[in-house]
């Protein structure tokens, strides 16, 4: 399997010191520009250490993930590297103008000059982001479906038009044309509900797990996903999985450090997604019920992390690959406000003692169904 690295470009110090309590009169502990430079320095290690890919996320308006333009970040990384693949995990389709997004993907594909561009997409959930974009969450499914349709047409048809509920596009084209023969074969999709799992599978996308609750759900989700593909007459797919990793020569230290910094990251995650105030999460909960929800959220996320010695981490990844047929593992080493020397030490130890072994594990790349085949299947079913 392939193994990559991701970065969230998160500023936990800003969250804890200022944003969480609205104390903006305080001086930042770490400025946003300083945090971005720190993460970019770690990105420069990805290719020399032998990883296969670099991925980043999309978030807006908070220090949870300062990644409001993933294709811009990846274009920078493309210019600083020569070998690694790049990927998004994920582009939140309801927030995008589909033509502009297709243009961004096409030019990034040209800049990569034959290297693979993995296009991870999703629906999104955070109320604070939908509200700021002035996109009603109730429209998110319809907007996502139309945006995905338009992007795939733009990347595969030189001229096209579209008429929908949210977008009406006259006959047009995007320039530059993508370099890759069919970028839609690189499409991956994530989900957080049964409804979205079905949408992902029937869209022809490959499965991408970015926010899952422990490993017990992975096997069931992947089985359901591939069963839906089989019903369409399509081949099964391996999965791409993003997971938190911390490696240290001492098992106890690895787990203590990993869990400590991940616990603080989880607090920011819960806040960003507004799980305390959202109508979707216990709007009339007591303080005790809310605290219980926070603890449960942390445990869910922590159970998906991989912390330990190189030998222990190899064993954990071997089991993860068995459960979820991993074709591309995406590792997050920098989380919380973990000091840079600690992150670098984890990445280097992982690269030296874990990477050579786990690259021999498992399946080939997750593969989407080409858009032309998806359309042919839809026409055949009437």
Q: What percent of the chain has pLDDT over 70?
A: 91
* 313 located within any domain: yes
Q: Pick from 107, 61, 103, 69: which is nearest to 88 by CA?
A: 69
For 67-123, how does the pLDDT look when each residue is reduced to its tens digit (9 = 90+)?
Answer: 999 999 999 999 999 999 999 999 999 999 999 999 999 999 999 999 999 999 999
C-beta separation of 147 from 94 below 8 A: yes
Q: How much is the mean pLDDT over the chain?
A: 91
For 200-246, how does the pLDDT look when each residue is reduced to its tens digit (9 = 90+)?
Answer: 999 999 999 997 666 778 999 999 999 999 999 999 999 999 999 99
pLDDT range class, residue 278, cuts 50, 70, 90: very low
* 251 located within any domain: yes
* 380 located within any domain: no
More confident residue, 172 or 305: 172
For 332-360, how does the pLDDT look when each residue is reduced to its tens digit (9 = 90+)?
Answer: 999 999 999 999 999 999 999 999 999 99
What gap in Å lies between CA 243 and CA 221, rounded to an integer? 16
For 315-325, how does the pLDDT look when each residue is reduced to its tens digit (9 = 90+)?
Answer: 999 999 999 99
Question: Which tokens in the block code for residue 199?
Answer: 């949408």
Q: How many structural domains are present in the chain?
A: 1
For 8-36, how does the pLDDT look when each residue is reduced to its tens digit (9 = 90+)?
Answer: 999 999 998 998 888 999 999 999 999 99
| Residue 349, domain extent | 2-375
Q: What pLDDT does 56 receive?
A: 97
CB hemisphere CA count around 244 (13 angstroms): 27
pLDDT range class, residue 294, cuts 50, 70, 90: low
* 382 located within any domain: no
pLDDT range class, residue 382, cuts 50, 70, 90: low
* 14 located within any domain: yes
* 260 located within any domain: yes
* CATH code of residue 203: 3.20.20.30
What gap in Å lies between CA 110 and CA 125, rounded to an integer? 31
What gap in Å lies between CA 375 and CA 369, rounded to an integer? 10
* 111 located within any domain: yes
**Verdict on whether the full-model pTM lies above 0.75:** yes
CB hemisphere CA count around 363 (13 angstroms): 19
Environment class of residue 176 by beta-carbon count within 10 Å: exposed (0-12), middle (13-18) or buried (19+)?
Answer: exposed
C-beta separation of 240 from 208 below 8 A: yes
* 219 located within any domain: yes
Q: What is the mean pLDDT of residues 55-73?
A: 96
For the cut 50, the answer to whether the pLDDT of residue 131 exceeds it is: yes
Q: What is the DSSP string of 106-164?
A: HHHHHHHTTS-EEEEEE----HHHHHHHT--GGGHHHHHHHHHHHHHHHHH-SSEEEE-
């Amino acid at each position: 399997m392939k193994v990559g690295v991701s970065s969230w470009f998160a500023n936990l110090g800003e969250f804890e010191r200022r944003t969480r309590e609205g104390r903006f009169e305080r001086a930042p502990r770490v400025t946003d520009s300083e945090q971005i430079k720190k993460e970019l320095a770690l990105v420069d290690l990805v290719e020399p250490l032998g990883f296969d890919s670099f991925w980043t996320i999309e978030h807006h308006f908070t220090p949870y993930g300062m990644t409001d333009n993933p294709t811009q970040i990846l274009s920078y990384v493309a210019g600083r590297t020569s070998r690694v693949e790049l990927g998004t995990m994920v582009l939140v389709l309801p927030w995008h103008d589909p033509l502009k997004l297709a243009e961004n993907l096409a030019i990034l594909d040209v800049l990569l000059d034959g290297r693979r561009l993995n296009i991870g997409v999703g629906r999104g959930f955070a109320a604070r982001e939908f509200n700021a974009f002035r996109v009603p969450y109730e429209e998110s499914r319809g907007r996502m479906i139309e945006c995905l349709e338009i992007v795939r047409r733009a990347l595969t048809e030189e001229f096209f038009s579209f008429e929908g509920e949210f977008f009406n596009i006259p006959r047009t084209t995007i320039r530059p044309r993508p370099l890759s023969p069919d970028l839609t074969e690189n499409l991956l999709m994530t989900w957080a509900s049964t409804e979205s799992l079905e949408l992902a599978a029937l869209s022809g996308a490959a499965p991408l797990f970015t926010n899952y609750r422990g490993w017990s759900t992975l096997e069931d989700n992947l089985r359901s996903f591939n069963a839906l593909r089989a019903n369409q007459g399509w081949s099964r797919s391996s999965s791409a999985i993003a997971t938190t990793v911390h490696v240290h020569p001492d098992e106890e230290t690895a787990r203590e450090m990993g869990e400590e910094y991940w616990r603080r990251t989880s607090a920011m995650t819960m806040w960003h997604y507004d799980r305390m105030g959202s109508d979707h999460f216990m709007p009339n909960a007591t303080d005790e019920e809310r605290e219980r929800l926070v603890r449960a959220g942390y445990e869910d996320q922590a159970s998906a992390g991989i912390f330990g010695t190189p030998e222990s981490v190899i064993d954990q990844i071997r089991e993860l690959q068995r459960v979820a047929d991993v074709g591309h593992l995406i590792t997050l080493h920098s989380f919380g406000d973990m000091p840079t020397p600690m992150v670098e030490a984890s990445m280097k130890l992982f690269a030296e003692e874990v990477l050579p072994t786990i690259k021999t594990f498992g399946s080939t790349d997750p593969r989407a169904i080409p858009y032309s085949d998806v359309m042919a299947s839809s026409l055949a079913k009437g």
